[in-house]
Amino acid sequence: MSYEKIPKVELHRHLEGSLRLSSLIDLAKQHGQELPADTPEALSPYAQVLEPMESLDAVLAAFDLFQNAFRSLEAVERITFEAIEDAARDHVALLELRFSPGFMAQPANLDWDEMMQAILRGVQKATQQYNILVGLIAIVSRSLGPTSARETVAFTLNWRHELVGFDLADAEDAWPAKDFAREIKPLHAIDMPITVHSGENVGPKHIRESIELLQARRIGHGVSLIEDQTLTEQFIENGWALEMCPTSNERTQAVERLSAHPAATLLKRGACVTLNSDDPGLFAITLSGELQRAENEMGFDQGMIEQARQNAISASFIEQKIKNDFFNVQEKS
Ligand SMILES: [Zn+2]
């Protein structure tokens, strides 16, 4: 069936991975930057990851052109607006959108608080125009190191009412959970919900550490969870959510092929599996397309896709009352 018209829920989408190629070109012109091509079709092979790469690191390196678009506050606002607009056009009803202030600020040394204000303007404009619920998550880019992590924690404390959660991303192998356990402690004190990119291209011991040392209650990817029976049982028992991203997991070779993805098996066993796009601009995908792939290639039937959607609604970090009100109105209309 087609999933385009169904109101969907996305828990794992990066702002920096949501750029339109047409905007990348526009913004490069505005900022006086050279690009390897000047039409979306010709730029695609340079900017997007359309085939499986040799590793997660190779995919992370492909982010360069996208990162370079964040050179002004106008660009930040525009990219935010368009990311939400694209989600709304794909009938995403609830969107958690995440961004790494340290990573975004790098190319032009933008002020983090001014960037946040620009993001909020983008959110406000988009949510006035489209019927979509948006929650923002701040990310620590692990490879920027503990100082950047401390700054991101301070940023998160400062903007805690505008953010719904906190995340750690990239290079888990080189930067394991223990390197950040102390830095993120102040967030536990305010009960800031924590999700962590974990077990994507590394074994399940990293997922265990994300749970134990960082108190993550949602895991981004978690592809290797299934290798640890005891931990899998704990996930099922506690309802800890898995934000799984089929095409992303295929292109970073977190799974050899989609038919070998553990999402369906975990969902059938009662784990809180959710399906997400990760980086729709980078991978040239939509959430509808991801659900379609889950049905065609990963052993999901429509009931399982609906279960994953319900899981995502309940696991969303957006306040329960706001979610309930929003979906009650949706169902009545
Ligand atoms: Zn991600």
Which residues neighbour ligand 1 (ion) by CB within 5 Å? 278
Q: Is 200 a catalytic residue?
A: yes
What pLDDT shows up at residue 331? 64
Catalytic residue chosen out of the listed positions 200, 209, 243, 290: 200
pLDDT of 70 higher than 70? yes
- Using the mean position of ligand 1's atoms as its centre, give its distance from the Cα of residue 197 in Å: 6
**What's the rounded mean pLDDT across residues 4-23?**
96
Res. 71: pLDDT tops 80: yes
Condensed to tens digits (0 to 9), the pLDDT of residues 238-292 reads 999 999 999 999 999 999 999 999 999 999 999 999 999 999 999 999 999 999 9
- Per-residue pLDDT at 56: 73
What is the distance in A from the centroid of ligand 1 to the CA of 35? 25
Cβ contacts of 302 within 8 Å, gap of 6 or more? 1, 295
Mean pLDDT of 8-18: 98
List, as one string, the DSSP characters of 139-182.
EEEGGGHHHHHHHHHHHHHHTTTT--EEEEES-TTTS-GGGTTT
Helix ranges restricted to H, the chain = 21-30, 40-47, 56-61, 64-67, 73-89, 101-105, 112-129, 145-158, 185-189, 204-214, 229-238, 246-251, 263-268, 280-283, 287-297, 302-315, 320-332
**Can you tell me the mean pLDDT for 194-220?**
96
How far, in Å, from the CA of 11 to the mean position of ligand 1? 10
Q: Could you tell me the pLDDT band of residue 148, with boundaries at 50, 70 and 90?
A: very high
| Gap from CA of 127 to ligand 1 centroid (Å) | 23
Please give the distance, rounded to the nearest whole angstrom, from the Cα atom of residue 196 to the centre of ligand 1. Answer: 9
Classify burial at 237, counting beta carbons within 10 Å of its beta carbon; exposed 0-12, middle 13-18, buried 19 or more.
exposed
Question: Does residue 332 carry a pLDDT above 70?
Answer: no
Report the predicted TM-score, pTM, of the whole model to 2 decimal places.
Answer: 0.96
Instruction: Summarize pLDDT for 81-133 with one digit per residue, the tens.
Output: 999 999 999 999 999 999 999 999 999 999 999 999 999 999 999 999 999 99
pLDDT recorded at residue 206: 97
pLDDT at 53: 84
* 330 pLDDT higher than 70: no
Query: At how many degrees (to 10) do helices 21-30 and 40-47 cross?
Result: 90
**Cα-to-centroid distance, 288 and ligand 1 (Å):** 18
List, in order of start, the domains of the chain with CATH numbers. Answer: 8-332 (3.20.20.140)
